[in-house]
């Protein structure tokens, strides 16, 4: 029986594609034995995915979870005061020229957040898992440097799976040096193609990113430490982007039809969105399912790390009131929302805490947000919650969501797209700006905070919500996203990824090419 080891960080943005891949592997070959190694926070989701996979593929073995020692990626960021501050700045400050230059200077360290001793602890823990499992192939997260380094050093047979897009891995390899003048540097918030007025800055950003990727003092120190302690050459996400290991295939949760126009290098395999199968809302939360069934719903979910303070939440409230008021003025029963009848309603998953801290402001009777939405909350047309029990993708698949308001994370963007749901993106950092660009280029949504970024204002967001949900272009957006969803679901990304992993298994042993 062939053994596949899935190795990823435990944050949902990275781990979800691995959970999806494990399920797809057993759907294609129930005799595949799945081992999953990560940090403890994801263990419950691994168990749930295992149960779902075994139920869907009778005869398949339950997955085995191997917890790693050390700090998860985001915990490692929070443990380093300077890096934690940079992360907070990314989500709260506008990407001006000076700020972006400073961000690029520190980005390399943020993508490799572990202290030297923590890094080696994870590396050695991962090696122990390798010794215990003896996998036939390792599927590793491109952001999970300790596991990448171990796979490279031990000459394991491995393949990289990433939730990121083709652009991240291919931009630097495009003809005519297009990375400088055509593709916006991650975190710049420039449009695509880069406007003429922004090209000089984009060129400087590119050069700055390349320079610090090779000279950053923290990375150089980690490189020396790892070499001394375990004898391995450090492999990072930036290695994968700029100097991909020879002979190692990279599977990307994306496809050319839903990315910026580019030439796909031969080491990249565009799988399409790798979507994790999840239980339906009706099976997890029947009451919420009944509420969603009442009518067309706007679903607001801004990801794990995007929080709001009270003043910004009130701006969002103002935008929602504009949308609901416009819907009411049009006699909602007659408004065309893709065949979904009923009154427009809003489900808002509002994160009010920063990191692990307590909430930044209160909700409930007597508070500003509650007072501003009193009538809508009393009528149960707006629900504001700290947590949604079903997975966000399950809510999008419920069939009544007419707009996804999200932060522009890869999983959120792809979940909405494959669920045929137009979206409004309010990005706050890094590659999230790119997804806002993609939504507009593809004609499936709008960038909701281009003027106010990284925050939101009712003056900007309100009319954009109206445009996407009720405006004259809304029906075209619904038709376009349905067309792309059908394209992506015809050959599901998880199935394509799993087929490629199985193909690599058939090629025999051996790691990277010399």
Separation CA 56–CA 314 (nearest Å): 44
| pLDDT tens digits along 139-196 | 999 999 999 999 999 999 999 999 999 999 999 999 999 999 999 999 999 999 999 9
- The residue among 463, 424, 427, 446 whose CA lies nearest residue 321 is 463
Summarised one tens digit per residue, pLDDT across range 268-324 is: 999 999 999 889 999 999 999 999 999 999 999 998 777 888 999 999 999 999 999
Task: Tell me how crowded residue 42 is: count the other CB atoms within 10 A of its CB.
Answer: 24
Sequence ranges of the domains in the chain: 3-72+114-173+217-275+492-506, 281-490
| β-bridge mates for residue 425, sequence order | 406, 447
Q: Which of 456, 141, 450 is nearest to 302 (CA)?
A: 456
Banded model confidence at residue 113, pLDDT cuts 50, 70, 90: very high
Domains 3-72+114-173+217-275+492-506 and 281-490 share a fold: yes
Question: Which stretches of 71-145 are assigned E, i.e. beta strand?
Answer: 137-141
Q: pLDDT over 90 for what percent of the chain?
A: 80
| Helices 458-469, 310-329: crossing angle, 10 deg rounding | 40
| 360-396 per-position pLDDT tens digit | 778 888 899 999 999 999 999 999 998 999 999 999 9
* Between 239 and 126, residue with greater pLDDT: 126
CATH 3.20.20.70 for domain 3-72+114-173+217-275+492-506, yes or no, is no
Query: Do 421 and 477 contact (CB within 8 A), yes or no?
Result: no
Does the structure show a pLDDT above 70 at 511?
no
Label residue 121 by pLDDT band (50, 70, 90).
very high
Q: Sorting pLDDT into bands at 50, 70 and 90, what band is 332?
A: low
- Point out which residues pair with 227 in neighbouring strands: none
What number of CA atoms fall less than 13 Å from residue 75's CA on the CB side?
12
Q: Is the CA virtual torsion 249, 268, 434, 317 positive or negative?
A: negative
CA-based max dimension of the chain: 71
What is the b/e burial string over 446-459, where b = at least 16 CB atoms within 10 angstroms of the residue's CB? bbbbbebbbbbbbe
List, in sequence order, every residue forming a beta bridge with 269; answer none if it has no partner.
251
CA dihedral 244, 246, 252, 258 (to 10 degrees): 80
pLDDT at 464: 98
SS3 content of the chain, % helix, strand, coil (to 5): 50, 10, 35
136's tokens: 């036939």
* Span 36-94, pLDDT tens digits: 999 999 999 999 999 999 999 999 999 999 999 999 999 998 888 888 888 888 878 89
Q: Which residue has the tokens 């297009």?
A: 178
pLDDT of residue 513 exceeding 50, the answer is: no
| 462 pLDDT more than 60 | yes
Share of the chain above pLDDT 70, in %: 96
For residues 21 and 276, give the distance between their C-alpha atoms in angstroms, rounded to a whole number.
8
Is residue 471 within 8 Å of 328, Cβ to Cβ? Answer: no
Say if residue 267 is exposed, middle or buried (CB neighbours under 10 Å; 0-12, 13-18, 19+). Answer: middle
Q: How far apart are CA 297 and CA 313, in angstroms?
A: 19
Give the pLDDT band (50/70/90) at residue 356. Answer: low
Structure tokens of 51? 């149960």
- Architecture per CATH, 281-490: 3-Layer(aba) Sandwich (3.40)
Is residue 514's pLDDT more than 50? no
């Amino acid at each position: 029986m062939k053994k596949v080891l899935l190795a990823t960080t435990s944050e949902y943005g990275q781990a979800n594609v691995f959970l999806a891949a494990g399920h797809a592997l057993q759907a294609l070959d129930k005799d595949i034995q799945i081992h999953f190694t990560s940090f403890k926070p994801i263990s419950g989701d691994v168990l749930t995915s295992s149960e779902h996979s075994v139920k869907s593929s009778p005869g398949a073995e339950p997955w085995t979870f191997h917890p790693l020692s050390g700090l998860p990626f985001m915990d490692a960021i929070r443990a380093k005061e300077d890096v934690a501050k940079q992360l907070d700045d990314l989500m709260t400050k506008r990407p001006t020229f000076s700020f972006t230059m400073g961000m690029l200077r520190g980005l390399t360290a943020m993508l490799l957040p572990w202290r030297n001793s923590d890094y080696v602890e994870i590396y050695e823990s991962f090696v122990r898992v390798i010794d215990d499992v003896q996998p036939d192939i390792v599927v590793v997260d491109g952001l999970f440097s300790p596991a990448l380094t171990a796979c490279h050093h031990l000459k394991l047979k491995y393949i990289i799976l990433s939730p990121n897009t083709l652009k991240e891995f291919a931009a630097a390899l495009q003809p005519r040096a297009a990375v400088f003048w055509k593709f916006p540097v991650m975190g710049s918030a420039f449009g695509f193609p880069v406007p003429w007025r922004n090209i000089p800055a984009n060129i400087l950003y590119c050069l700055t990113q390349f320079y610090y990727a090779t000279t950053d003092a923290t990375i150089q120190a980690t490189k020396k430490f790892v070499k001394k302690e375990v004898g391995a050459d450090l492999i990072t996400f930036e290695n994968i982007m700029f100097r991909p290991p020879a002979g190692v295939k990279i599977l990307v949760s994306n496809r050319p039809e839903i990315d910026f126009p580019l030439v796909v290098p031969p080491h990249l395999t565009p799988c399409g969105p790798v979507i994790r199968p999840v239980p339906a809302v009706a099976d997890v939360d029947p009451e919420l399912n009944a509420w969603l069934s009442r009518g067309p719903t706007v679903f607001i979910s801004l990801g794990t790390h995007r929080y709001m303070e009270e003043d910004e939440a009130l701006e969002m409230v103002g935008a929602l009131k504009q949308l609901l008021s416009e819907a009411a003025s049009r006699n909602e029963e007659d408004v065309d929302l893709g065949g979904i009848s009923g009154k427009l309603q809003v489900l808002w998953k509002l994160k009010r805490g920063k990191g692990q801290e307590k909430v930044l402001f209160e909700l409930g009777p007597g508070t500003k947000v509650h007072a501003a939405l009193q009538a809508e909350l009393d009528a149960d047309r707006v629900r504001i919650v700290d947590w949604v029990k079903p997975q966000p993708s399950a809510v999008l698949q419920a069939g009544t969501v007419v707009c996804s308001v999200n932060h522009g994370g890869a999983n959120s963007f792809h979940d909405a797209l494959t669920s045929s749901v137009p979206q409004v993106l309010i990005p706050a950092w890094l590659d999230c700006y790119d997804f806002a660009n993609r939504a507009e280029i593809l004609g499936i949504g709008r960038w909701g905070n281009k003027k106010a970024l990284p925050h939101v204002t009712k003056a900007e967001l309100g009319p954009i919500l109206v445009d996407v949900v009720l405006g004259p272009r809304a029906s075209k957006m619904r038709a376009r996203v349905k067309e792309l969803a059908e394209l992506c679901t015809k050959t599901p990304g998880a199935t394509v990824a799993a087929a490629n992993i199985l193909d690599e298994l058939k090629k025999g042993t051996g790691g990277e090419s010399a």
